[in-house]
Structure 1
């Protein structure tokens, strides 16, 4: 124990000596955390744990990285000196990087019992506690892939601050996932580094409860409060927490009551706001001094023993400091075994077909539309399944729900894990999915997608209604998706409007995680979106925000040759607004059938779920040459759907080219039929980001005399316009087709709210914009 505490203390002292003005958010005052964690890990390993996923904020993180997870000290010291971007043995992609106290790592740590314990410290932002659900999700995924049915081999550990544990809502959201069947990990160990101050805020101003850990009482979790100066007590309690978790398979909390010797960071002056506290702290001996004194007084150790141990630690620290000057990190340090062979952004990845053999489509189609004979579903649900069976039988009229189920089923047949999670996803917010049906007499449940293959593992397809949480559940699914790329992991919002409850996950992890931490994820986010008169809370998934966070350059057309194209790989994520069941099918399958992973944000439909024209034929899903979905490259997702009228490759007589995205297409097409607008072409941009320059230019060439219009149903300051316009302009300039003034806007005017709350106003606005897009007169710039 003394050796472990000495390493913890000397590490902080060494950093303070070498980099006096650097922010490191040291552990001084709470150094006993390190020997406590090590004892917890040894005991956990002894009790059967093979892998631990750790999440924590900045306080003491470098100490945990170096002394617990065994990140090379030379690498940590190199990062203090400015650091070198990691290099990839097969490429040059390095991302933007992040500050040293946000980074993660993994290591196989030898334990006291002679075993090896795999440790992963998850990278995270400064948004306190935001990493919590990711750790739990990643742990759950590890349990699935290691067949850890009793959840004793994989453990999640979260290290909190006292202020954030009491103050951040995501803590509560994460705690309440702990016993839910499709989210439980068999218990998480929570360690609170309780230094009794949150930056400059006293506990009396930071919480209403007596203890910062009282939030855990909602779970009836045991909470152990321990004096951080008492090393042996801390070690004992950490050991006890490991025993509790492995015995009772539930959450447990260790509250290490300690202090913060310096300010929030090392260049901060704490006496400005806590003068009396810091008068005491300045004269208070460290935990190491107290323990050394105890051992000396009991004659368990001598001064020379202490000196020898100190010299040994300092020698190693100094050697690593010297080595840090030549340290070059490798990208392999960051990648798990499951990700071997996946490509980084600078490596070309060929586009793969996503069509499926007709006989497989028929086979899985029968499975997903069949109900056991003795099962008694609701009569309306029974009718829906009969209609679905007819769709598969005839190969016509495939609707959105069946297209989605076919994507899931075909991926399952190919051996991929599929997980769909979110509020009300089993039935679907709009009563369209019915992936789980209920016997009206017994209450028994049946999930057709659990029976696609023979002897299918019950978790291979997981669909689960979640708790009423956005932040916590999206974070969980993101963590789950990062463990293994061979899984389709989907989070669906109840309405897209509510996704901003998880904005931290979108901003700090999903949009920028690969750039900061070189971590890929193929997470799919479904956000129901569309203007149908339901008001400002049920109309918009805020498409513009996701597009605004996209990092593709609006003024440079990238390489678009299919064999050389790296556009999606070089972009931070994909944003799509799809209009046919078949294209949605191929979009989902594309997520798995590629050699890299990117997040996918989908503006999911609402009224298109049952729209009479939003249907596909089974031939658009297959891989048969000559069928409607098969083009020159094969059967795959269409980034742009050209005008559906039978036109030639050159249509000089078309006066207007209307580009749009999403459900407004069907309204435009219906109006065009009414007004006989054959001189107007309507093209659907299905993939907004990254922008399909090649296909847009193809259509611009097809209609050389056409007025170019972008039509959307969202207000001008929302939707796709601000993203599309500069990129469309770049495409037009390259062809000599004009400038920004030649792009005409049709849509709602600028607005503070996403939509009107008056249905009559909505109807007029929608009618006006559809009429305007097709009006015979030229459209003024910009609208």
Structure 2
């Protein structure tokens, strides 16, 4: 007899009982006292272990144990077995747990056998005291593999087959017991046996053949052309197909994909159903963008696609998101798109829309965007219910082997930071790939969490097809050159099992070759008839920015604005707001009552409130957005007693939704997520705010590759707003400049708007114009810091109301005839100049502000130059250094019409002085020069 009490799954019970014994030996049964007295464990060590870490004190709770009460009945516990059978059960339990934890280390997952998968010591039965003569014994195994008892010899074979056989799985690191048990049961109940029916096997083989033939066809027809083929990892297509099929069967209606370039052409053709003729046409020099749009486009292995497919009477929409060559940059963009789509259809349970992300092994373990994307994945503001991640593991990155490319055993080890399960499987075993992919998809659907499939294969050619990999990896590529393809290996397997005949295989190949030949012929005359854009939620938007769609009404009736005073300045009864916040809210009500003195925080809040009333959703994220880095916003008020939260903007009534979330300390992933959200929700005002403007530097790749160029490359419009606090106040080089010059350098073809506003009315109208016009492009705003409470940086209510609008250029009201000098400027420096002019009483110098820098307001500037045509000197003044800010951009444009001089700081390698005294010295120097 084997007592199940001693099995490893009851270890918590025994540990807690032992802890009771250490505190009071009389509190446990006599049989347990005898057993524990012989344990010989250091009591101090165990006590510390039992208490647990300081951040999670362990609570004593013995299942079935009751605290002693006044009772005549004596507590009884099962007697402790003392037979050798019980000791053997303990040993077997340790062996089973070892395989669950370390079995993946011996799994046959490397098709090239470059790395040994020998059995580690942890999986040797002798390590646990199980001798050769014990193997014929029957042991209690507590339901493992669906059995209570099993001969140890048979158990050992089953463990090897299940955990160290055709795939490996890592799940012991997962914190959630239910998830671990679900995976354990799923894996062990099949006991490592994968048994598909003939039709499924033939379908898998057909997919492999089609992918290999398509890639080979491209290689033959377009030798030397870059295509970043999937050859060597064709089974990834099997993984994708299985994930789609399983998800569709479970009522997922849309899957959003993100991937880098490796294998993308096969995904476009096989999964996204992009016409083969279109792909062949692009290789022949055709472009996917109609000539009439005159846009540069992108390489074919970066492009997007979407398709509706039907699987077993279930429809699912598939979308492939475009990507740049920064391989993992697409991850947060996909997540943002998924969340936007979920919000749009009220998919609160995250059951109907999901993300599928394909990674390369080297990039996944090497690029910071992966960590940032995983870090936000379970945070409320960014949670999408998890994604299925498929890693194309080529065991090499460009020319770098995994030994030099990472510090961990697996490329997927970073996934453990979110306690996600990880499957490892050989790309030469497509059945195993399909098997684990189905489990992975089911896990994501059941638990709404990320799951990873590491498909270990190889790269048939170099980084691209013209590279020579023998230069750097001669041994690996000597093996690859002799290695059969996955379809050849699987064909031989099915032939040996009698599942298919050679004639049937040749039939599959012949039919597909005929299809490819016809598509290749049709590609000669193929031409994109219409642009693949402005469909679905984007229907009705204009292709380009014009006067018609940019000049929209943004003014709001004065009475409507005043009616917002109470709701925007109130908190519920019994809500204990901070006294300072109460004053802020009270002042906001007074601003509207007096119709004057409206500051930036209120101007911004009015923009959100009126847009919500107009039916637009508003979503804001960033590191301190609820309060605002400089405490100007207070969109969320915190109760000082219970820390409950209240957001006035969520209580306006109406159907539009306002959400605002403080983000994790991330720029790249969070900005990417919000870009993705705006990508799929054009009628939501989506804002990412930097804590300080120069912190956006950490997301520069996202700005360059998506924000600035998404439309020109991929015909994908976006309305993301970046709020970047900017302004020189002696705060040092990392808290002064949002690097205005970088955004201006990226501007062309009306790809985005760059503004540097100076009044609350300007930000109000700018945000409202952004949503009301029938065109979307990113909006970059250099937002103020010191101006948030500047006595002069205020607006009247009439500046928001009837007959008001956004003015790209703001002029003085000086008597024109007296003006001898005109100073053009933008942003905070205007107030420095204004106060200096007042101090000097110079009525002969006009100050002209550019509230919008791009698109360049040529017409408005021309009006100002004509207005002050009698001026002897035209100056551009900026607070940024000469090699920064807007000077280079401005000079180039002014030179076409008039000579303009520079006044400001000299050139510098650093954005700003680190000392307040030096900052003031520089400021006074260029102010003096401006008023000479």
> Could you tell me which of 784, 791, 808 is aligned with 1:612?
791
CA deviations on 1:96-136 (whole Å, 9 max, x unpaired) are 0111101111111222x222211111111111101111001
1:53 aligns with 2:256: yes
1:705 aligns with 2:884: no
Structure 1: distance between partners of 2:622 and 2:806 = 25
1:86 aligns with 2:289: yes
**How far off is 1:369 after superposition?**
1.5
> Could you tell me which of 574, 579, 601 is aligned with 1:401?
601
Structure 1: distance between partners of 2:535 and 2:387 = 22
The residue aligned with 2:718 is: 521
Structure 1: distance between partners of 2:336 and 2:424 = 27
1:696 aligns with 2:696: no
1:158 aligns with 2:357: yes
CA contact (8 A) 1:693 1:731 kept: no
**How far off is 1:470 after superposition?**
0.7
Structure 1: distance between partners of 2:544 and 2:920 = 45
**How far off is 1:86 after superposition?**
2.1
> Could you tell me which of 339, 355, 359 is aligned with 2:555?
355
Question: What does residue range 346-495 of structure 1 map to in structure 2 within 5 Å?
Answer: 349-350=548-549, 351-454=551-654, 456=655, 460-495=657-692
SS at match of 1:540: coil
Question: Per the alignment, do residues 330 and 461 of structure 1 end up closer, same or farther by CA in structure 2, a change over 3 Å counting?
Answer: farther
Structure 2: distance between partners of 1:363 and 1:137 = 35
Determine which structure has the larger helix proportion and give its number.
Answer: 2
**How far off is 1:332 after superposition?**
4.1
> Could you tell me which of 273, 282, 304 is aligned with 1:104?
304
**How far off is 1:543 after superposition?**
0.5
1:26 aligns with 2:229: yes
Structure 2: distance between partners of 1:365 and 1:242 = 50
Question: Per the alignment, do residues 33 and 85 of structure 1 end up closer, same or farther by CA in structure 2, a change over 3 Å counting?
Answer: closer
> Could you tell me which of 763, 766, 772 is aligned with 2:923?
766
> Alignment length, in residue pairs?
727
CA contact (8 A) 1:86 1:328 kept: no
Question: Per the alignment, do residues 637 and 346 of structure 1 end up closer, same or farther by CA in structure 2, a change over 3 Å counting?
Answer: closer
CA contact (8 A) 2:717 2:776 kept: yes
1:716 aligns with 2:913: no
SS at match of 2:680: coil
CA contact (8 A) 2:282 2:288 kept: no
> Could you tell me which of 707, 730, 747 is aligned with 2:904?
747
The residue aligned with 1:70 is: 273
SS at match of 2:894: helix
SS at match of 2:525: coil
> Could you tell me which of 296, 316, 324 is aligned with 2:523?
324
Structure 2: distance between partners of 1:267 and 1:365 = 66
CA deviations on 1:386-440 (whole Å, 9 max, x unpaired) are 1111112222111111111110111111111111111111111111111111101
SS at match of 1:334: coil
Question: Per the alignment, do residues 227 and 326 of structure 1 end up closer, same or farther by CA in structure 2, a change over 3 Å counting?
Answer: same
Structure 2: distance between partners of 1:360 and 1:80 = 58
Question: Per the alignment, do residues 334 and 71 of structure 1 end up closer, same or farther by CA in structure 2, a change over 3 Å counting?
Answer: farther
CA deviations on 1:286-339 (whole Å, 9 max, x unpaired) are 110111111111111111111111111111111111111111114443343111
Structure 1: distance between partners of 2:360 and 2:612 = 42
Structure 1: distance between partners of 2:545 and 2:284 = 28
TM-score (ref. length: structure 1):
0.91
**Greater mean alpha carbon deviation, residues 330-339 or residues 243-252:** 330-339
The residue aligned with 1:214 is: 413
**How far off is 1:346 after superposition?**
7.3
CA contact (8 A) 1:366 1:392 kept: no
The residue aligned with 1:729 is: 895
SS at match of 1:264: coil
CA contact (8 A) 1:481 1:489 kept: yes
The residue aligned with 2:441 is: 242
CA contact (8 A) 2:545 2:750 kept: no
Question: Per the alignment, do residues 498 and 583 of structure 1 end up closer, same or farther by CA in structure 2, a change over 3 Å counting?
Answer: same
The residue aligned with 1:563 is: none
> Could you tell me which of 318, 321, 327 is aligned with 1:119?
318
1:660 aligns with 2:825: yes
1:275 aligns with 2:474: yes
The residue aligned with 1:592 is: 771
Structure 2: distance between partners of 1:729 and 1:505 = 32
Question: What does residue range 555-594 of structure 1 map to in structure 2 within 5 Å?
Answer: 570-594=749-773
Comparing both chains, which one has the higher relative contact order based on Cα–Cα distances under 8 Å and sequence gaps of 6 or more?
Answer: 1
**How far off is 1:227 after superposition?**
0.9
CA contact (8 A) 2:811 2:864 kept: yes
1:259 aligns with 2:458: yes
> Could you tell me which of 669, 687, 695 is aligned with 2:834?
669
**How far off is 1:349 after superposition?**
3.2
CA contact (8 A) 2:235 2:433 kept: yes
Moved over 6 A (4+): none
SS at match of 1:601: strand
1:168 aligns with 2:367: yes
Structure 2: distance between partners of 1:313 and 1:366 = 69
The residue aligned with 2:79 is: none
Structure 1: distance between partners of 2:530 and 2:577 = 52
**How far off is 1:359 after superposition?**
2.4
SS at match of 1:408: helix
CA deviations on 1:442-467 (whole Å, 9 max, x unpaired) are 1100011101115x56xx11111111
SS at match of 2:548: coil
1:534 aligns with 2:691: no
CA contact (8 A) 2:305 2:320 kept: yes
**How far off is 1:366 after superposition?**
2.5
Structure 2: distance between partners of 1:404 and 1:439 = 23
CA contact (8 A) 1:652 1:704 kept: no
> Could you tell me which of 614, 639, 642 is aligned with 2:811?
642
**How far off is 1:85 after superposition?**
4.9
Structure 2: distance between partners of 1:280 and 1:694 = 67
Structure 1: distance between partners of 2:848 and 2:426 = 67
Structure 2: distance between partners of 1:601 and 1:253 = 36
1:549 aligns with 2:746: yes
The residue aligned with 2:47 is: none
CA contact (8 A) 1:715 1:747 kept: yes
**How far off is 1:771 after superposition?**
2.4
CA deviations on 1:214-270 (whole Å, 9 max, x unpaired) are 000000100000111001000111111110000000110000011111111111111
SS at match of 1:441: coil
SS at match of 2:215: helix
Which segments of 5 or more consecutive residues in structure 2 lack a partner in the other structure? 1-203
SS at match of 1:333: coil
Question: Per the alignment, do residues 697 and 346 of structure 1 end up closer, same or farther by CA in structure 2, a change over 3 Å counting?
Answer: closer
**How far off is 1:362 after superposition?**
1.8
SS at match of 1:352: coil
SS at match of 2:261: coil
Structure 2: distance between partners of 1:336 and 1:767 = 54
Question: Per the alignment, do residues 333 and 110 of structure 1 end up closer, same or farther by CA in structure 2, a change over 3 Å counting?
Answer: farther
CA deviations on 1:65-102 (whole Å, 9 max, x unpaired) are 100011111111111111135228xxx21410111101
The residue aligned with 2:105 is: none
Structure 2: distance between partners of 1:481 and 1:369 = 29
